[in-house]
Amino acid sequence: MDPPDEAVPCRLKLPATLESLDPFQDFVRGQIRESRCPQETQFKIQLALEEALVNIAHYAYPPGGAGWIELACRLESGGKRLWVEIRDGGRAFNPFERGKPDMTASLDKRQIGGLGIFLVRQMTEKAEYRRDGDTNVLTLQFGLDAAP
């Protein structure tokens, strides 16, 4: 099978719930299968996706509502890079406006928070946010050869 054309990303749109996490992970796993990238790189991609998707499931929509998440992805640079775009229709939130969590705080004092977004940044080559109309758009880029 030829690699999917760079102009046509594959897409999956599902309810913004934790039940959708596994289908999203399976979907991306299927897309990068042919790139044969190292397993550890795949785990890092899964980590960034989990953090981003769980945040939308938890925080983006009012409780009880029917929110959605749409994930688009494609291989780029001849299979050397993975591009992922995650959209939701929840309240506007730029995850990269916040400061980094205080990694030097002692264990007892340390706030448990901010870690998810920090990990998204760490696991990606590039991570950008923009608001597009009523939609939050998170664009993530991963190198598939080695660890970022």
Partner 1 sequence: MEIVSMKKENAMLIRLKGRMDVVTSPAFEQACDKVILGGDKLLVLDLGGLEYISSAGLRSILGVDKKIKAQGGKLALCNLMGMVKEVFHVSGFAEMFPTFDTVEAALGST
Ligand X SMILES: Nc1ncnc2c1ncn2[C@@H]1O[C@H](COP(=O)(O)OP(=O)(O)O)[C@@H](O)[C@H]1O
Binding site for ligand X (CB under 6 A): 51, 55-56, 59-60, 90, 93, 95, 113-117
Q: At a CB cut-off of 8 Å and minimum separation 6, what does 130 contact?
A: 137, 139
Choose among 80, 76, 82, 83: nearest CA to 145. 80
Q: Are strands 135-143 and 126-132 parallel, antiparallel or unpaired?
A: antiparallel
By CB under 8 A, is residue 72 in contact with a copy of itself? yes
Instruction: Give yes or no for a contact between 69 and 115, defined as CB atoms under 8 angstroms apart.
Output: no
CA distance 85 to 74: 9
Residue nearest to ligand X (CB): 116
Question: From the list ligand X, partner 1, a copy of itself, none, which binds 11 (C-beta under 5 to 8 Å, kind-based)?
Answer: a copy of itself
Q: Which stretch binds partner 1 (CB under 8 A): 6-14, 60-68, 104-112, 131-139?
A: 104-112
By CB under 8 A, is residue 111 in contact with partner 1? no
Q: Which two tokens stand for residue 17?
A: 């719930």
Give the footprint of a copy of itself on this chain (CB under 8 A).
1-2, 4-5, 7-15, 17, 19, 23, 27, 30, 66-68, 70, 72
